[in-house]
Amino acid sequence: MIDQLESSYNCSNAGQDLHTLQEELASLKQSSNSSDKETVEMINRLENQIHFIKNKCDIRP
């Protein structure tokens, strides 16, 4: 997971960052503890980071 995303995020890193975040998200969603509060918060954070990068870098699905 990326520690901190800011408005100064460099979109040249978006491809690799999105790939990494999406792999982490898929792994968490497949875990058996996906109802655990900490896991749910981590999933939400990863989804928010993915959305931020796609929005900031104008990446369409």
Distance CA 16, CA 31 (A): 23
**5 phi/psi in degrees, rounded to 5:** -110, 135
- Among the residue ranges 23-27, 29-33, 45-49, the one predicted with the least confidence is 29-33
pLDDT value of position 32: 67
Query: What is the domain partition of the chain in residue ranges?
Result: 11-56
Q: What is the DSSP letter of 31?
A: S
User: How distant, in Å, are the alpha carbons of 22, 40, 48 from that of 36?
Assistant: 20, 6, 18
**Statement: residue 19 has pLDDT above 90:** yes
The stretch 8-31 carries a mean pLDDT of 93
**Statement: residue 34 has pLDDT above 70:** no
